[in-house]
Every structure is written in C-alpha cells, then in structure tokens.
A and B are shown apart, each in its own frame.
Chain A
Amino acid sequence: MLNFVSRRVFLAVITLLVVSAVVFAIFSLLPFDPAALSCGQKCTDTIIAGNRIKLGFDRPLYMQYALFLSGIFFGRTYGSGAAGFTCPAPSFGYSYNENACVSDLLRQAIPVTISLALGALIIWLITGVSLGIIAARFKNKWPDRVSSIFVLLGTSLPTFVTGLALLIWVTIKWKLVPLSLIGYTPLWEDPIKFFQFFILPWITLAIAYAALYTRFTRAAVLETLGEDYIRTARAKGVKERTVLFKHTMRAVFAPIITLAGLDFAGLIGGAIITETIFNLPGLGRLTLRSTFEFDLPVVLATTLLAAAVVIIMNLVIDMLYAVLDPRVRI
C-alpha cells in the first residue's frame, strides 16, 4: 500500500511538471507580449520595459519557468524597494489585470467551486442512484418509464437551458428563492444565505449528472441482478429486499464511486456555464474571465489546478477501490 502510494505520488508529480511545462510553453509562445498586456491604456514604451523587468519577462524562457516553479514553493517578489511587492508561497504568479497575486484570486474562487461541486455531487448521487435502483427494480413498468423520461430530458437539456429556466421561474416568477445580489457567503457565516445562494446552481448541475447516474445505476443493477452470486443469495432464502440493497448494491457501489470521483474532479476544474449563469465567483468564471483578458498567469494556474485535482482524484479512487474490492491488492 505504502509502496503503491509513494509510486503514484511520484508519478503524479512528474505528470504535473510535464503539464505545467507544456501549458507554460504554450502561453509563452503566444504572439502576445505579456509585458505590454500588463500595462493598461496609458502605455508607454518605458512602462512596458519596466514591467518586463519587474515581472521577469526579460529573462530566458527556462528561467521564467524556474522562477514560476520556485514561486510555488518559496513565494516570489516582484521589483524591489517601495515599488516592489511579494506574492507569498504558494505563488502562481501575479495577475496584472487584477493587480493581485494569482494565489489570492484562487483562494477566493476555490471555496465557491468546491461548495458548488460538492453540493451538486450529493444531490445527484442521491437522486441518480435511487432513481436508477427504482428503474431497475421496476424494469419496464411505469417507474422505469418515468425515470427514462427524466434521463432523456436530463441528458439532452443543456445546463444553460435548465439553469436559465430555473432562474426565471423559481427566482423571478415564483420568487421561491431570493435573487442573490450580495454574492457568496461561506456556510459557517450564514448557512441560510449559503443554501439560498447555491440551491439553484446545485440543482442545475445535478439534473444533468443525475440523469447520467440514473442510467448508469439502472444498467449496473440490472447487470448485477443477473449474476450467478445473486442467484446463490436467492437460493439461500435471502429476502428480495436484501438481495437488492445488500448483495447487488455492494457490487454496484464501486463503479459508482469511481464515476463520482472523476466527475467531481472535472467539476473542480470549473463548471463554467453554471457559474456564469448564476454569477458564482468560482474557478470556472475566473478561468473564463482570464482567458478573455489574456490574463495568462491566472489561466496557467487554473489549468494546473484542474490537472492536479484530476490526478489526485484518480489516486484517491484507486486507493478507495482497494478498500472496496477485496480482489484488488495494491
């Protein structure tokens, strides 16, 4: 186990280094002068030259990359004296558009995105898996047909349709949830505001995923119900309910966890559409904004973060699998 984990962590670090180098190279090769981008409207050649030195763009590419990497661990100071400023570790660079350290921008955006992804995950797991079980249990009967309509709608309606529909009907027409203009409040500061802020984005995201999970669970349950060991359980005289919820679900559980882990990791990279519709200041919107504004340090950081989350989630899932499935030894 320890051997496996250390090997995988080592591989993860290598992968992240490669990803960061590639992303760094792509952005450095773009036909933009980052120093020019950093100086706004009243730009003179002197300011650009000054910024170039201040932000380190005058150095060779490999030095810039080395500075970027060392910044993650040791922080980074730009300029010197009164005009200088420091982004403490972990520093992912300095956003010249926002005039802020990238790590500060991330620190504000990450809790929003995690709250969004986690809440949606819980909702879609509960609804998707239960609907899937019901659909499998009553295969070809009316509950199955109703759930297949849900699956069809959920998978075919894009989030910008469901999201906007929810926003228009639930918030504006029916006024069930107040339109949140204050923005994000952390859970521990005001739970009610937190839930009011997130409930519609959660549902929007969850509908799409719940539909997929319903379909997946239904198929997995039906496949497992056909297994020989399920027949064995019935032959022992086990009650049908126990056959379904214990014997069958135990086997269906592992693949669902895998799927959920990967989907969750994908969402941390940013649910761009949902965050945009509901004006959530999360990673997705941060990425979108910085891409439009050529705020390259931020794009670099969010890309790296998304890659890191996917890699870490994969490691976590593999370790979970060893716990869930006795046949897997690591």
Chain B
Amino acid sequence: MAELLRIENLHVAFPTDDGLVRAVDGVSLTLNEGETVAIVGESGSGKTVSGLSVMGLHKKGAAQLTGSIFVKDGDHGVDIVSASEEEIRSLRGRTVAMIFQDPMSSLHPYYRIGNQLSEGYLVHNPGKKKDALKRAVEMLDLVGIAEPDQRANDYPHQFSGGMRQRVMIAMALMNSPRILIADEPTTALDVTVQAQILILLASLQKEFNMGILLITHDLGVVAQVADRVSVMYGGRIVEQGSVDDVFYKPAAPYTLGLLKSVPRISTHGSARLKAIPGQPPSLINLPTGCAFAPRCEFSAHAQGDICATARPELLGSRPEHLSRCHVLEATRDRLFIDELKEVRA
C-alpha cells in the first residue's frame, strides 16, 4: 500500500482579537491507498481545520500553518504548507478532493448541476468541454442518480439532500483524485440516507483505490467504515490506532468518555446517558497540562499533579496504538475494563 498523505507535526493557529486560537496543535497522521482514516472529535477539536489544511483552503494571512503536509502527486510529493498558491490550486480537485458537511449549501444555487460538475474537470483539463460533460453524466450515473443526462440540466434545488450529497461526491470524483477528504459527509442527512451514502463511498473507494480521510463526530460511522482512527481533543490527537484497538481497547480517558456517551438501545432497561462532565477547553487558553485533565475522572490515578502541570506525549507499548495519558498504561487497562463492560452491555 502506497502512502498518499503524510501530515507531520501540523500546527494551525488563527490570530484573533482575543488571542491566538490554536486550532490544530501538533497533529501527525498518514493515509494509504485504499484506506479510510477517521478523525473523530467534538466540535472545535480541530478536525475540520486539519481537513481544510490538506486542501490548502485556509486563507493566507488568516491562518498560520507550520509543520508539513506531504501529498503524493504522481511520482513526487508536494508539501502543502510550503507550496505556492498555484501549486496547491492545481492539486485541488485533481489529487485531493473534498466533500462537505452540508450538501444543501455546498452547491451553487444558480448553476446547473452538469455545469458545476464539468467545471471541476475543465479546470484541470482546459478546453475539453465535451469530455467534461460526458464525464459529468458518467459520474452522476456512478453515484446512483437516475436519468443522469437529464438530471445534469437541473439546478441544485431540484435535488433532495441525499441526492445533493451524491452530486457532491460525483463532483469530488470528477478527476479521479487519490485522496478524498470527507468532512462530516452524512451529518446533515437522514439516518436511512446516511447508510446509503456510506455504502456508496465505500464502493467508490474500491473502484478508485482512494484514500479517504473521514472527518466525523459520529462514532457509529467510524465503526462502519474506518480502518484507522485518530481521536482529537483540544487541537491534539489524544489517541490513534486501528478501529478495533480504539473501540475495544481505548487507551485515552477521553476516548472512553466518548464511547460511554453514545446512546444505545439496551435490553437492561433505560440507563442515563453518561455525558463527559464539563466543557471542551478554550483553544486560546489551553490548560498547561493535559487539555482533558479538568474533565478527566482518572487524573487522580496519575503521579502527583502531573496532569495539571505537564503535557502528556502520544505514546504506547505498541507503535500502532498510541495515546496521550499520564496514567500508567497498565493502570488504565485495569481501570477501563470495568467501564468497558458497561459500554458493551
């Protein structure tokens, strides 16, 4: 499996009147061909900002990027952080494509669907108008839109939400990109439609052998489609590993909290949902120690007040399953077992 994307120690900060917002604070991850890597976290954890960084869609001047984002483009790699605006633009839609959360507002209301699709092709293949339209109809057909040659003449408002997300996917795949960034692709959709879109994405992934970077807050979606997961909190990755590791042997207290707060239909009658107490941290004034410490129920098990004073590193006994926590891994394993039983029940 060839590596398509390598993010190394990415920092993204936005200067504001109130201070520097550290939206992404040292994120590293990789994405391989045919693989789905999920970034999970609550609102404001930095997952969308990370996705937009890969697309180079942050405004120059408004965002301060450091670190590197290597995108494989043919034989060579391009570092999005240091590349020129024009280099990044030529990658967008061709090598890296993105679909967004809200298909209702992500399509231009004044242009026909066919035109909007062809445009993405024409940008990278100038002058080939006929090919572009043909390709647009093909792609609409591929994403499951009936009578694609007629629907191409319709406007976005003539499509339902699920159909629009299919159109968005078709648009993203116009140039057969190697990397697809899917930012909450199912959040705005009905549950029944969500499943259809996920199945569609999975089948298209096989067909195009794409790497998908899936950004979501929905653990159910992650469990269904992802191979590897990075859990983000306060702009940092707090746990990284395979789906099985993260779901069955969570190592970070935050991940455990997330798993416990998923509502489930239980045979044992109704139990109260276990929300994580407290609020996510302000990205302007992150705690000096572990960002999760103020909300963490396990911080007492760490040595002294280390949780409040020092930042935990992303570590693990196995390199493919890493987590940030000051509590000894053995202690965590022991403590989490009982909690996990509850979750499984």
Of B85, B109, B120, B157, the contact of A236 (CB 8 Å cutoff): B120
Chain B: CB-nearest residue to A239: B89
Interface residues of A in 209-230 (CB under 8 A from B): 227-229
Knowing A227-B105, A232-B100 are in contact, say whether A326-B92 is a contact too (CB < 8 A): no
**A108 → B minimal CB distance (Å):** 43
Say yes or no: B120 contacts A229, CB within 8 Å. Answer: no
Q: How many angstroms between the C-alpha atoms of A250 and B116 in the bound complex? A: 13
Which residues of chain A have a CB within 8 Å of any CB of chain B? 227-229, 231-240, 247, 250-251, 324-327
Knowing A250-B110, A326-B110, A326-B157 are in contact, say whether A235-B92 is a contact too (CB < 8 A): yes
**B157 → A minimal CB distance (Å):** 5
Say yes or no: A235 contacts B98, CB within 8 Å. Answer: yes
Knowing A236-B93, A237-B94 are in contact, say whether A231-B157 is a contact too (CB < 8 A): no
Say yes or no: A235 contacts B93, CB within 8 Å. Answer: yes
**B11 → A minimal CB distance (Å):** 22
Say yes or no: B100 contacts A236, CB within 8 Å. Answer: no
Say yes or no: A235 contacts B107, CB within 8 Å. Answer: no
Say yes or no: A247 contacts B93, CB within 8 Å. Answer: no
Summed over the interface, the residue pairs from A and B with CB atoms below 8 Å come to a total of 71
Of A228, A237, A247, A250, the contact of B106 (CB 8 Å cutoff): A228
Q: How many angstroms between the C-alpha atoms of A256 and B308 in the bound complex? A: 56
Chain A: CB-nearest residue to B88: A237
Chain B CB within 10 A, most for which of A227, A235, A325? A235
Of B90, B102, B109, B111, the contact of A237 (CB 8 Å cutoff): B90
**B177 → A minimal CB distance (Å):** 10
Question: Which residues on the B side are within 8 Å of A247 (C-beta)?
Answer: 108
Question: Which residues on the A side are within 8 Å of B93 (C-beta)?
Answer: 235-237
Say yes or no: A231 contacts B110, CB within 8 Å. Answer: no
Interface residues of B in 101-149 (CB under 8 A from A): 102, 105-111, 119-120, 123-124
The answer to whether the Cβ of B14 comes within 8 Å of any Cβ in the partner chain is no
Say yes or no: A327 contacts B123, CB within 8 Å. Answer: no
Say yes or no: A237 contacts B155, CB within 8 Å. Answer: no
Number of interface residues of B (CB under 8 A): 30
Could you give 13 example pairs across A and B, Cβ below 8 Å? A233-B108, A235-B97, A235-B100, A236-B92, A236-B120, A237-B89, A237-B90, A237-B91, A240-B85, A250-B108, A251-B108, A326-B110, A326-B155
Interface 0/1 of B70-108, CB less than 8 Å to A: 000000000000000100011111100110101001111
Say yes or no: B57 contacts A234, CB within 8 Å. Answer: yes
Question: Which residues on the A side are within 8 Å of B124 (C-beta)?
Answer: 237
Say yes or no: B106 contacts A236, CB within 8 Å. Answer: no
Of A235, A239, A325, the contact of B110 (CB 8 Å cutoff): A325
Question: Which residues on the A side are within 8 Å of B108 (C-beta)?
Answer: 229, 232-233, 247, 250-251
Which residues of chain B have a CB within 8 Å of any CB of chain A? 55, 57, 85, 89-94, 97-98, 100, 102, 105-111, 119-120, 123-124, 155, 157, 168, 171-172, 174
Knowing A228-B100, A234-B92, A236-B119 are in contact, say whether A326-B109 is a contact too (CB < 8 A): yes
Say yes or no: B94 contacts A327, CB within 8 Å. Answer: no
Question: Which residues on the A side are within 8 Å of B157 (C-beta)?
Answer: 326-327
**A280 → B minimal CB distance (Å):** 39
Knowing A247-B108, A250-B111 are in contact, say whether A235-B90 is a contact too (CB < 8 A): no
Of B92, B94, B106, the contact of A229 (CB 8 Å cutoff): B106
Say yes or no: B92 contacts A228, CB within 8 Å. Answer: no
Question: Which residues on the A side are within 8 Å of B110 (C-beta)?
Answer: 250-251, 324-326
Question: Which residues on the A side are within 8 Å of B102 (C-beta)?
Answer: 228
**B71 → A minimal CB distance (Å):** 13
Q: What 8 A-B pairs have minimum CB-CB distances, sorted nearest first?
A: A237-B93, A237-B92, A236-B120, A228-B105, A236-B93, A326-B155, A229-B108, A228-B106
Contacts beyond the supplied A235-B57, A238-B120: 18 A-B pairs with Cβ under 8 Å: A228-B100, A229-B105, A231-B100, A232-B100, A232-B106, A235-B55, A236-B120, A236-B123, A236-B174, A237-B89, A237-B90, A237-B92, A237-B124, A240-B85, A247-B108, A250-B110, A327-B155, A327-B157
Knowing A237-B120, A326-B157 are in contact, say whether A232-B107 is a contact too (CB < 8 A): yes
Q: How many angstroms between the C-alpha atoms of A228 and B200 in the bound complex? A: 23
Chain A: CB-nearest residue to B111: A250
Chain B CB within 10 A, most for which of A237, A239, A251, A325? A237
Q: How many angstroms between the C-alpha atoms of A306 and B111 in the bound complex? A: 36
Chain B: CB-nearest residue to A251: B110
**A21 → B minimal CB distance (Å):** 42
**A319 → B minimal CB distance (Å):** 17
Q: How many angstroms between the C-alpha atoms of A232 and B93 in the bound complex? A: 10
Knowing A235-B57, A235-B93 are in contact, say whether A327-B109 is a contact too (CB < 8 A): yes
Question: Which residues on the A side are within 8 Å of B89 (C-beta)?
Answer: 237, 239-240
